[in-house]
Structure 1
Amino acid sequence: MRNSVQFEVCGDYALFTDPLTKLGGEKLSYQVPTYQAIKGIVESIYWKPTIIMIVDKVRIMNPIRMESKGIRPIEYGGGNTLANYTYLKDVRYQVMAHFEFNMNRPDLAHDRNEHKHHNIFMRCVQAGGRRDIFLGARECQGYVEPCEFGKGEGFYDNYGDIHLGNMVHGINYPDETGRNQLEVRLWNPVMKDGIIQFIRPEECTQIRKIADMKPKHFDENNVESVDDLFAQMEGGGNH
Structure 2
Amino acid sequence: MRNEIQFQVTGKYALFTDPLTKIGGEKFSLQVPTYSAMKGIVESIYWKPTLIWFIDEVRVMKVIQTESKGMRPIEYSGGNTLAYYTYLKDVHYQVKAHFEFNPYREDLVQDRNEHKHHHIARRAVKAGGRRDIFLGARECQAYVEPCEFGEGEGFYDNVPEVDFGIMLHGINYPDETGRNEMETRLWNAKMENGIIRYIPPAECPYVRKIGKGAAKPFGPENMQSVDTLYSEVCGEEESS
Tell me if TM exceeds 0.5: yes
- The gaps in structure 1 that reach 5 residues or longer are 233-239
Give yes or no for the alignment of 1:175 onto 2:175: yes
Q: Which residue of 2 aligns with 1:41?
A: 41
Give yes or no for the alignment of 1:23 onto 2:23: yes
Give yes or no for the alignment of 1:10 onto 2:22: no
**Cα offset, 1:189, TM superposition:** 1.3
Q: TM-score, normalised by structure 2?
A: 0.91
Q: Which letter does structure 1 place at the counterpart of 2:41?
A: I
Give 3-state SS (helix, strand or coil) of 1:189's partner.
strand
Q: Percent identity?
A: 68
1:123-146 CA-to-partner distances (Å, cap 9, x unmatched) read 000000000001000000000000
Q: Which residue of 1 aligns with 2:149?
A: 149
Q: Which residue of 1 aligns with 2:233?
A: none
**Closer/same/farther in 2, CA of residues 121 and 224 from structure 1, 3 Å limit:** farther
Q: Distance in 2 between the 1:125 and 1:222 partners?
A: 27
Q: TM-score, normalised by structure 1?
A: 0.92
**Cα offset, 1:32, TM superposition:** 0.4
Q: Distance in 1 between the 2:122 and 2:219 partners?
A: 24
**Cα offset, 1:119, TM superposition:** 0.6
How many residues are matched?
Answer: 228
Q: Distance in 2 between the 1:27 and 1:155 partners?
A: 26
RMSD over aligned CA atoms reads 1.7
- The 4+ residue runs of structure 1 with deviation greater than 3 A are 219-225
Q: Distance in 2 between the 1:120 and 1:40 partners?
A: 17
- The gaps in structure 2 that reach 5 residues or longer are 231-240
Q: Distance in 1 between the 2:119 and 2:78 partners?
A: 49
**Cα offset, 1:37, TM superposition:** 0.2
**Cα offset, 1:224, TM superposition:** 6.7
**Cα offset, 1:80, TM superposition:** 3.9
Q: Which residue of 1 aligns with 2:133?
A: 133
The structure number with the bigger radius of gyration is 2
**Cα offset, 1:64, TM superposition:** 0.2
Question: Bigger shift: 74-83 or 173-182?
Answer: 74-83
